[in-house]
A and B are shown apart, each in its own frame.
Chain A
Amino acid sequence: MAWITQNLWLIPALPLLAAGLSSLAKQRQRAFAASLAIGSMVAAFLLSCAAFVTTLGHAGTFREPPVNFLWFQLGETTLQLGWVLDPLAAVMLVMVSFVGLLIFIYSVGYMAHDENFTRFFCFLALFAAAMLGVVISNSLLLLFVCWELVGFTSYMLIGFWYHKPSAAAAAKKAFITTRIGDIGFFLGMLWLYSETGTLLFYDGGQGCLEQSALTKLAAQTTMLGMAASTGISLLIFCGAMGKSGQVPLHVWLPDAMEGPTPVSALIHAATMVAAGVFLVARVYPLMETVPANATVAAQTAETLTPALSLSEREREKQISASDESIRVEPSAVRKIADAPQNVLSLPAGEGRGEGEGQEHAAAHAVSTALKLVTWIGAITAAFAALIAVAQTDIKRILAYSTVSQLGYMMMGLGVGGVAVGMFHLITHAFFKALLFLGAGSVIHGCHDEQDIRRMGGLKPFLPVTFGTYAVGMMALAGVPVFFAGFWSKDDILHNAAHWPVSSGPFWLGVFGALLTAFYMTRQVCYVFFGQRRAGILPARHAHDERSSKVHSSVPSSSHPPGGQAGGLSYDPHESPPVMTTPLVVLAVFAVVLGFFGTPAWPWFQDYISGHPATGDLSKLFEWETSSIMLLSTIVVALGLSAGWWLYGRLPSATPEDLDPLERMRPSVFQVLRGKFYVDELYEATVIRFNAWTAWLSDGLDRVLWDGVVRGVSYLVLGFSWISRFIDEYLVNLGFDKGCDGIRGGGKLAAAWQTGQVQPYLRVIGLALAALVLLLSWGRVQ
């Protein structure tokens, strides 16, 4: 086992240490905090690279043996934690630490004028530690702990400018919304633990993602005829939905843009929101487990022979369930059963080779959980893209785009397996971080302006930002061949087209791709092309409410606040090199990464699935592959040209100009700008219900429970009053009399004791005389 596998914990521990040390730093120790955070990230990145190289070196072995340790033991119950290094963890480690490092460096420039610079880096480092912890953990419990830590730091960083009421509200919204999903996750975890007795993913055959546990879970039927594995998968997916902003729970992510832009880039675009996707990828063996209650034979065999041990049952099931392995002699079957790591189900559905013939024949059917994942992802992808079309805040457009792309990732996981979803996750992390940092650079250059209607014509002022932003935009839109987004999205669409269940997700995905190209063109046209619209408005009160808050309450503004009051126009300026350099690096990766996962050379997919890499250029030209590529190329071209036709050709001259779409279809546009009124819907249903329940509970508390409590207290008061009466007038009177008597006697007796020596002596003398008299009188008689 490699050194790095044993010491994988160092990767999250270093940023954690940095966070701890910088939390002790004083507010003015800026350089100390920043260099500590960046230094720890550099070290984490180097270690991650070492880990990555280790997984590369062991091309044949699919997973390094995990390192597990006992956390605590309560009687029979044990809880183990651990970490694991496999290709999935390794690519995430490299991605998180690298993107994180670039964003840390960028933040030095972006946050340079914020008075709470030190605190910012402390939280960033803590976030990085927790995120890296999520990635390496081999235990659902450890993953959950880090998952919640990630959510906590997200809360702290969204609300970093907590004196803005909107930021504080957004932080709360993010925290509570993700918590709703996390309840599902937590319940799923408890259920999984009660069924399998372990939360370790991989534990030499005993882990909950390994064959024996999965077989057991799949065989168990619970309510509604659902297998335990399905129920647990769905509950865990709830957590992923909350964290990754999938449709019913997506509302927090756009609001999370209240945080500083590097935070939006790191947490709410590149890493944390992808944690949900990563979670699904991590528990993929569980997700793809097809319930065994379909195969009645296996179930009846189990109910008839309850006394059989687990391995025997499993062996029986393998014999009965797999058609081709029925002829295998018992010794071979025993070997399989005794070495369960051989029959690990590979995370990638497509990566199933002939070597794993022992897998159930039924495993190629699509499980309920994956169907749900796919549908939710596809709906999210199209839904969020529609909303993004009508937004005017530069970061909000990107936020909805993130939601949409996360939907793509979920869809990719559902239709194509781990490798497909993860490929889009990695490429998306780079180009979306790039877009966000570019947006941050634009905002920085435009004096904290976020409304794209008030930008325009920025291209000559921000050359580097424009160049890199264009690369990011084309990568996101999926401009063919040269950009990463094209290949990863194409991979998803390709798999969706061959999904056996339905073609709905495919068409939703194509529609989403069209919209993605369209809204990104719209945004770039608004921001960089046309003429400058900033400063034309005479006064700032016409501003979007949000952006004016940014101005009034954020002390981080790098420009004298007095200069902004007059509504004069300023020349936008390019950001300092500390901000543009990360942009350039990310732009390079947004281009290069795509070539690691083309159909001709699917290195990434092979790497994740543990296959030796294969390269076959002819695959690129097979009709099956190229038809999808052609389709997506056409779609992207359509989206780009529609965007250019509407926004680039005749750019609006003033910020008040109506959006061309709004002129055409005002009602539809209003719905889109209102984000389909999901927030309002929640306001009217969930929140109103919640408020009503709270009101009712309050009333019950005040009237009913308080009444009961008061009644009891009055009863007690009455009793105590009676007791006092008895005490004072019956007990005390007698007692007082007794006391008085004793006190009188004491006084009388004490009068004798004067304390003076001579009276005592006098008494003694008298007594002596009396004694003498008595004795002599007796003698006389």
Chain B
Amino acid sequence: MTPLHQYLFLSALLFGVGLAGALTRRNAIIVLIGIELMLNAANLNFIAFWRFSRHPELATGLMFVLFSIGIAAAEAAVGLALIIAIYRHYRTANLDQFDSMKG
């Protein structure tokens, strides 16, 4: 059985890729994909810690992650809808040009 630290390593890698994508890319859709990656890294952590916990027979971690995925799907839908609305308004998906929220 794969030891815990490998899962954690993979998870950290996934998170790092997601964060890098979210921080560096200008396209809103790529940023959204990065965010989804980070979320999945968190989910992977969850599952790993559940499997290596003292009571793996209880399906609590699994249930939690299922909910998290469901919410992530909803969030992705809302996020894409927002991006489409913003695109229709500004005729671009470039995040640098969306600065109307500044003080």
Contacts and interface: CB of A to CB of B under 8 A. Distances in A.
Interface of A: 749-750, 752-758, 761-762, 765
B99 A756 contact: yes
A648 to B, nearest CB: 112
B95 A756 contact: yes
A761 B100 CA distance: 16
B59 interface: no
B62 interface: no
Given A756-B95, A756-B96, A761 B103 contact: no
25 contacts: A749-B103, A750-B103, A752-B103, A753-B102, A753-B103, A754-B99, A754-B102, A755-B98, A755-B99, A755-B100, A755-B101, A755-B102, A756-B96, A756-B98, A756-B99, A756-B102, A757-B31, A758-B22, A758-B23, A758-B95, A758-B96, A761-B23, A762-B23, A765-B19, A765-B23
Interface of B: 19, 22-23, 26, 31, 95-96, 98-103
Contacts of B98: 755-757
Contacts of A757: 31, 95, 98
A475 B35 CA distance: 123
Nearest to B28: A757
Nearest to A749: B103
A750 B101 CA distance: 11
A25 B23 CA distance: 87
Contacts of B23: 758, 761-762, 765
Contacts of B95: 756-758
A761 B22 contact: yes
B31 A758 contact: yes
Contacts of B102: 750, 753-756
A744 to B, nearest CB: 14
Given A756-B95, A761-B23, 15 more contacts: A749-B103, A750-B103, A752-B103, A753-B103, A754-B99, A754-B102, A755-B98, A755-B100, A755-B101, A755-B102, A756-B98, A757-B98, A758-B22, A758-B23, A758-B96
B86 to A, nearest CB: 11
Contacts of A762: 23
A776 to B, nearest CB: 13
Contacts of A754: 99, 102
Contacts of B99: 754-756
A749 B102 CA distance: 11
B9 to A, nearest CB: 15
Contacts of A758: 22-23, 26, 31, 95-96
Contacts of A755: 98-103
A37 B22 CA distance: 97
A753 B103 CA distance: 6
A161 to B, nearest CB: 78
A127 to B, nearest CB: 79
A466 B44 CA distance: 134
Contacts of A765: 19, 23
Contacts of B103: 749-750, 752-753, 755
Contacts of B96: 756, 758
Contacts of B19: 765
Nearest to A769: B19
Nearest to A760: B101
A765 B26 CA distance: 17
Contacts of A761: 22-23
Nearest to B22: A761
A254 B26 CA distance: 105
B89 to A, nearest CB: 15
B33 to A, nearest CB: 14
Q: Give 7 closest A-B pairs by Cβ, nearest first.
A: A755-B102, A755-B99, A753-B103, A750-B103, A755-B101, A753-B102, A756-B99
A755 B99 CA distance: 4
B23 to A, nearest CB: 6
Nearest to A750: B103
A761 B26 CA distance: 13
B65 to A, nearest CB: 21
A771 to B, nearest CB: 14
B60 to A, nearest CB: 25
A755 B95 CA distance: 10
Nearest to B25: A758
A756 B31 CA distance: 13
Nearest to B24: A758
A768 to B, nearest CB: 9
A762 to B, nearest CB: 6
A749 to B, nearest CB: 7
Nearest to B99: A755
Contacts of A750: 102-103
A750 B31 CA distance: 25
B35 to A, nearest CB: 9
A636 to B, nearest CB: 111
A758 B95 CA distance: 8
A762 B19 CA distance: 9
A761 B103 CA distance: 17
